[in-house]
Chains A and B, each alone.
Chain A
Amino acid sequence: MLALLGATTLMLVAGRWVLPAASGEANLKPENVEIHIIDDNFFLKWNSSSESVKNVTFSADYQILGTDNWKKLSGCQHITSTKCNFSSVELENVFEKIELRIRAEEGNNTSTWYEVEPFVPFLEAQIGPPDVHLEAEDKAIILSISPPGTKDSIMWAMDRSSFRYSVVIWKNSSSLEERTETVYPEDKIYKLSPEITYCLKVKAELRLQSRVGCYSPVYCINTTERHKVPSPENIQINADNQIYVLKWDYPYENATFQAQWLRAFFKKIPGNHSDKWKQIPNCENVTSTHCVFPREVSSRGIYYVRVRASNGNGTSFWSEEKEFNTEMKTIIFPPVISVKSVTDDSLHVSVGASEESENMSVNQLYPLIYEVIFWENTSNAERKVLEKRTNFIFPDLKPLTVYCVKARALIENDRRNKGSSFSDTVCEKTKPGNTSKTWLIVGTCTALFSIPVVIYVVSVFLRCVKYVFFPSSKPPSSVDEYFSDQPLRNLLLSTSEEQTERCFIIENASIITEIEETDEIDEVHKKYSSQTSQDSGNYSNEDENSGSKISEEFPQQDSV
C-alpha cells in the first residue's frame, strides 16, 4: 500500500489532440502524457505521431486552478523531442492545484491545447533518495543524512524536519542478515562488529503522511579495528525521589568516565549538533560506573544521554545514546493489585493503575505490561509471569493455602527501561475444597437462627437501660403523700444542693420580754414562725431536731 502510494506516478491518458484542419497537417495523436515528479523535478513525457513530421515543436503552460492566468514553463518551450522537464522553482506554489496544458506548434500553426487533469504537485511528488555520509567506528557507523531534494528545495521545504529515515544494513559478505532501523538525520547504528564491511541503503519517509521515498544507492564502509579503550555499555537512568542515578557497565579497571546529554528536539533538526551536547553536572571525571545528579539540574523534557571512558591509553568512543524522558521516569508508578479467591484451586488477580499514576496519566500513552511474581506463602519458590492483561487467573493451586502476589509495570516495547518498583505484596488464601458448599449452608442457617436471638437480647437490654436511667416520672403514691409540697422527681439525678438548716437558740428571751413590751415577744414569735415556715421544705433529721428545739423554747416563752 505504502509502496503504491510512494510510487506516485501521474498517469494521464491523453485524449486525442488534433492540429486544426486548416493547417492541412496529418492528425497528431499523442497517446499518453505522463508527469513524474521526483523532489523538485518535474518530468513531462508524451507520445506523438508527429515524430515523423519535421519542424513540429511542443510547448507547455501552467496556471493555478481557477486563476485564468496561464504562464509559460520555461523548461518546456518549443521542445523538439517528446519530453521535457522543469523545476518546481518555476511554480509559485506546490500545494495548490495546478492545471497544465501542452500543444504542438509548427511555424505559425498551433494545435489546440491538451489539458492535463488538475493536480496538486506536492501530493504527486515522489520523495527522492537522500544523500548519505558515513563515518565508521569500531562497533558503530555514524550517519549524516541530508533531506531529499536540494538545499533550497521548494517541494519539501515545509517538511525537512519531519523526515525520518529507514536504513537497511547488512554485512557485505552475507546479504541474508539484513537489519532495518529508523534513524534521525544525524544518528548512529550500533551493535556492529569491528573490521567488517557493512553496506547500507537509506530511504526518507514522512510516516504520518503515509509517504515513503525511494532508496539511496548502496553505500559500503569498513568498521575500524577494535578500539584500545572500549565504550561503556548498557546505560541506565533511574529516578529516585530527588535524584537521578545514571549507571553503566564497564568491566575494565582504572577508567574515568564522562557523561553528556542533549535536548532531544535537536535530533529532529537536520544538521550537525555535536556542539549542543552538554556536560551532565556531577558526571565528569567519575571513577565509579555511576553518577548521581539532582533533579533540579534537568528541566522538563526529553534528553539523550551518552557516556565515554578514558584510561591511560586514551578515550573510548561514545556509548550508545540512551533516551531519557524526565516525565517518563517519574511516571511509571507501581500498580495496585488485588487478589480474590474464586475457587479452591485458583486466584483471581487484577492489576490497576495507582491513583498517582492516574493523575499523571502518562502511563497510558505507553503500552504497559506487568511483571507479576507469585509464590506460596510458606515456600520461596516464585513464579514469574509477564501479563498484558489487567485481569487474570492463577490456576492449579492448592486449596486453603496462602499465596502472595506482587507486580510491577514495564513499558512494553522498551525492556531496557527499568519500569516501576514493585507493588505492595498481597496475600490471599484459596478457598477450601469441595466441602465449601456445606460450610456455606451451615453458615447461612446459623446466621438465620441467630437473628431472633439477637433481637430478643437487644430488646431486654433496652428495657434494663430504660428502667435504670429513665424511671417513670411519678414516684410511688406512699412517698407522694409524705412530700406533697416538693416531690423529688428524680432521686438519682438530683443535683440540687442540699439545703442546710440555720438554727437560732435564743436563751435570753425571758430578759427581753421583761424589758420590752409583749409585742416584742410577738415579734420573736413571728421570727420563729417565719423560720419554721422556711424550714418546712426540708425533711432531714436536723429539721426534726430543730423542730424539737423550737418546741422546747416555746414553753419558755409560755412560761413568761
Chain B
Amino acid sequence: MINKAFFEIVLVLLASSTVCSQELKLVLCQQRRVNQESLKLLNKLQTSSVQQCLPHRKHFLLPQKSVNPHQYQKGQVLAILHEMLQQIFSLFRAIVSLDGWEESHTEKFLVELHQQLEYLEALMRLQAKQKSDTLGSENLRLQVKMYFQRIHDYLESQDYSSCAWTIVQVEINRCLFLVFRLTRKLSEQGMET
C-alpha cells in the first residue's frame, strides 16, 4: 500500500519536473524579450542627456548577493523573479499616468513584462502544489521590495525629474540582467531535476 503511494508520488514528481522544464524554456525565452525591450527603451535615451545626468547617480544597492540562485530552491527563485518583475511593472506603470511618456516603447516593454508575469504566475501556481520550497521566500521578497523602495524614494526626492528617470532606467536595466541570469539558472536547474 505504502509502496503504491510512493510510486505514484515519484511518478507525479517526474511528470511535473518534465512539464516544468518545458515551461522554463519558455520563461527564459520571454525574459529575453523583456530584456530586449528594456534595452530598446534605454537606447531611446540620448547620450547627451545621460551624461548630463551623471551627477545624479545613486547606488541603489541591488540585492545581488542575497539573491544568489545557487543557495535557493526553485520556488524561492521564482518568488524573487516574480517580485522583481512585479516591482518593475509597478515602477513603469507609473510613467503611463505621466505626461509625455514614450507611449509606444514603454507600452511594448510593459506588454512583454506583463506576459512574463503571467507565465511566472502560472508556473508558481503549479509550484505551489509542492509547497515546501516556497517557504522562506517572504524574506527574499522583502529584500526586493526594499530595493525598489529605495528607487521610489529616490524618484520622489528628485521630483520625478527626467534625469532621475534616466538614472532609474539604467538601474532597471542592470536589475534585468540579474533577472535574466536568475531565469537562466532556473531553467538550467529545471532541466537537470
Q: Is the CB of A361 within 8 A of B138?
A: no
Given contacts A208-B79, A364-B23, contact A302 B121 (CB under 8 A): no
Residues of B within 8 A of A268 (CB): 89, 93, 114, 117
* Bound complex: CA A327 to CA B115 (Å): 10
Interface membership of A287, Cβ < 8 A: no
Within 8 A of A (CB), among B69-121: 79, 82, 86-87, 89-90, 93, 96-97, 107-108, 110-115, 117-119, 121
Residues of B within 8 A of A158 (CB): 87, 90, 145, 148-149, 152
What is the count of residue pairs linking A and B with beta-carbon distances less than 8 angstroms? 80
C-alpha spacing A162/B25, complex, angstroms: 25
The answer to whether B141 and A209 have CB atoms under 8 Å apart is yes
Is B124 interfacial (CB-CB < 8 Å)? yes
| Contact residues in A for B142 (Cβ distance below 8 Å) | 95, 120, 122-123
Partner of A209 from B110, B138, B146 at Cβ < 8 Å: B138
The answer to whether residues A122 and B145 also contact, given A208-B82, A365-B23 and a CB cut-off of 8 A, is yes
Min CB gap B133→A, angstroms: 14
Cα A123 to Cα B146 in complex, Å, equals: 13
Contact status B90-A365, CB under 8 Å? no
- Check if B119 sits within 8 Å of A365, measured CB to CB: yes
Bitwise, B148-175 to A at CB < 8 A (1) or not (0) is 1100100000000000000000000000
From A93, A263, A364, B107 is in contact (CB under 8 Å) with A263
User: In the bound complex, what is the Cα–Cα distance between A302 and B79 (angstroms)?
Assistant: 23
At the interface, yes or no: A350 with Cβ under 8 Å from chain B?
no
Count of interface residues, chain A, beta-carbon cutoff 8 Å: 29
For A299, list chain B residues within 8 Å (CB): 108, 111
Tell whether B45 is near chain A: CB-to-CB under 8 Å. no
Contact B26 A302 (CB under 8 A): no
Which parts of B120-147 form the interface with A (CB within 8 Å)?
Answer: 121-124, 138, 141-142, 145-146
**Is A208's CB under 8 angstroms from B146's CB?**
no
Query: Which A residue's beta carbon lies closest to that of B22?
Result: A364
Instruction: Evaluate contact between B90 and A265: CB separation under 8 angstroms.
Output: no
Q: Does A96 contact B (CB under 8 A)?
A: yes
Instruction: Scan residues 128-182 of chain A and give those whose CB is less than 8 A from a CB of chain B.
Output: 157-158, 160-162
User: What 0/1 pattern do residues 350 to 378 of A give for CB contact below 8 A with B?
Assistant: 00000000000110111000000000000
How close is B175's CB to chain A, nearest CB, in angstroms?
15
Which single residue of chain B is at the shortest CB-CB distance from A263? B111
Asked if B19 CB lies within 8 Å of chain A CBs, one says yes
B105 → chain A closest CB, angstroms: 12
Smallest CB separation, B137 vs chain A (Å): 8
CA distance A301 to B123 in the complex (A): 18
A322-342 vs B, CB cutoff 8 Å, 1 = contact: the mask equals: 000001000000000000000
Tell me how far the C-beta of A156 lies from the nearest C-beta in chain B, rounded to whole angstroms: 11
Assembly CA distance A271 to B93 (angstroms): 11
Residue of B nearest to A160 (CB): B90
Q: How many Å lie between the Cα of A107 and that of B122 in the bound state?
A: 61
A123 and B22 contact, CB distance less than 8 A: no
Chain B residues with CB below 8 A from A521, complex form: none
Question: Are A302's CB and B118's CB within 8 A?
Answer: yes
For A300, list chain B residues within 8 Å (CB): 111-112, 115
Give residues 94-127 of A contacting B (CB, 8 Å).
Answer: 95-96, 120, 122-123
The answer to whether B111 and A265 touch across the interface, beta carbons within 8 angstroms, is yes
Determine the residue in chain A with the shortest Cβ distance to B89.
A161
Chain A residue nearest to B109 in the complex (CB) = A265
A427 to B19 Cα, complex, angstroms: 30
B86 touches A269 (CB 8 A): no
With A and B bound together, what is the CA distance between A123 and B93 in angstroms? Answer: 25
Contact assessment for A365 and B89 in the assembled complex, using a CB-CB cutoff below 8 Å: no
Instruction: Decide yes or no: A123 and B138 within 8 Å by CB, A158-B148, A299-B108, A364-B26 being known contacts.
Output: yes
Q: How far is the CA of A268 from the CA of B89 in the complex (A)?
A: 10
Highest count of chain B CB atoms <10 Å: which of A95, A122, A300: A95
Q: Which residues of B contact A264 (CB under 8 A)?
A: 114
CA distance A482 to B77 in the complex (A): 96
Structural contact, B112 and A93, CB atoms closer than 8 A: no
Determine how close the nearest CB of chain A comes to the CB of B47; give it in whole angstroms: 28
Q: Report the bound CA distance from A361 to B25 in whole Å.
A: 8
Tell me which residues across on chain B come within 8 A of A95, comparing CB atoms: 142, 145-146, 149
Residue of B with least CB distance to A162: B86
A366, B126: Cα distance in complex, Å: 10
Task: State whether A161 and B86 are in contact (beta carbons under 8 Å apart), knowing that A299-B111, A364-B19, A364-B26 are contacts in the complex.
Answer: yes
Q: Write the nearest CB–CB distance from A363 to chain B, whole angstroms.
A: 8
A265 CB contact (under 8 Å) in B22, B87, B110, B138: B110
- Residue in chain A with minimal CB distance to B33: A300
**Chain A residues with Cβ under 8 A from B111's Cβ?**
263, 265, 299-302
The reply to whether B145 and A365 contact each other, CB–CB distance below 8 Å, is no
Bound Cα distance from A102 to B96, whole angstroms? 45
Contact residues in B for A327 (Cβ distance below 8 Å): 115
Q: Is the CB of A302 within 8 A of B114?
A: yes
Q: Which residues of B contact A162 (CB under 8 A)?
A: 86, 90
User: How does the 8 Å CB contact mask read for A287-326 relative to B, with 1 for contact and 0 for none?
Assistant: 0000000000001111000000000000000000000000
Shortest Cβ distance from B90 into chain A, in angstroms?
A: 5
How many angstroms between the C-alpha atoms of A161 and B119 in the bound complex? 17
**Looking at the complex, which one of A123, A269, A365 makes contact with B122 (CB distance below 8 Å)?**
A365
CB pair A161 B152 closer than 8 Å = no
Q: Which residue of A lies closest to B138 (CB)?
A: A123
Proximity bits, A363-400, B CB within 8 Å = 1, else 0: 01110000000000000000000000000000000000
Quote the shortest CB–CB distance from A332 to chain B (angstroms). 14
What 3 pairs between A and B have smallest CB-CB spacing?
A265-B114, A364-B22, A301-B111
13 more CB-based (< 8 A) A-B contacts, given A209-B141, A263-B110, A265-B89:
A95-B146, A95-B149, A123-B138, A123-B142, A158-B87, A158-B90, A158-B148, A268-B89, A268-B114, A302-B111, A361-B26, A364-B19, A365-B26
Which A positions have Cβ atoms within 8 angstroms of B? Answer: 93, 95-96, 120, 122-123, 157-158, 160-162, 208-209, 263-265, 268-269, 271, 299-302, 327, 361-362, 364-366
